[in-house]
């Protein structure tokens, strides 16, 4: 299924070059995109705009607040919002914990095609 330009993805990634690249991939596939450099910034944005974001794509390993911690906060702020976790640290115990709860996990590096496939999979679960 193709991207719906009314679907907006929030990309949470502390590494700016990666965040910009992922946002570009999503925009190129027709999605609306918002971005946050960390979990705290994502929470502030979502407290204001929960209804306008359809999915969160977050790095797992970030300073201050991990992707898993962000997900716990989001479960209170926007309980039905789907989350995709991404990480280059596939052997990390935090990453394995995210995978074990049945969340969608996207190992870095990934192609635009794989990214869009995972996003569509998560959005179609709604």
Q: How many other CB atoms are there within 10 angstroms of residue 88's CB atom?
A: 15
Q: What pLDDT sits at residue 125?
A: 82
Q: What pLDDT sits at residue 72?
A: 87
pTM of the model: 0.89
Q: Would you write out the chain's pLDDT as a tens digit for each of its 126 residues? A: 556 668 999 999 999 999 999 999 999 999 999 999 999 999 999 989 888 999 999 999 898 898 888 988 988 888 889 999 998 876 655 555 554 445 788 888 999 999 999 999 999 986
Strand partners, 85: 58, 105
Domain 8-124: top CATH class = alpha beta
HSE, side-chain direction, 13 A CA sphere, residue 67: 31
């Amino acid at each position: 299924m193709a991207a719906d330009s009314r679907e907006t993805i929030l990309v949470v990634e502390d590494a700016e070059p990666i965040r910009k690249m992922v946002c570009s991939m999503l925009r190129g596939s027709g999605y609306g995109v918002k971005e946050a450099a960390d979990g705290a910034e994502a929470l502030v944005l979502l407290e204001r705009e929960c209804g306008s974001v359809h999915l969160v794509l977050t790095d797992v390993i970030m300073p201050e607040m991990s992707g898993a911690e962000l997900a716990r906060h989001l479960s209170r702020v926007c309980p039905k919002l789907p989350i995709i976790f991404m990480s280059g640290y596939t052997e990390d115990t935090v990453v394995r914990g995210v995978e074990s709860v049945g969340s969608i996990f996207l190992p870095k590096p990934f192609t635009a095609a794989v990214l869009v496939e995972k996003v569509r999979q998560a959005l179609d679960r709604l």
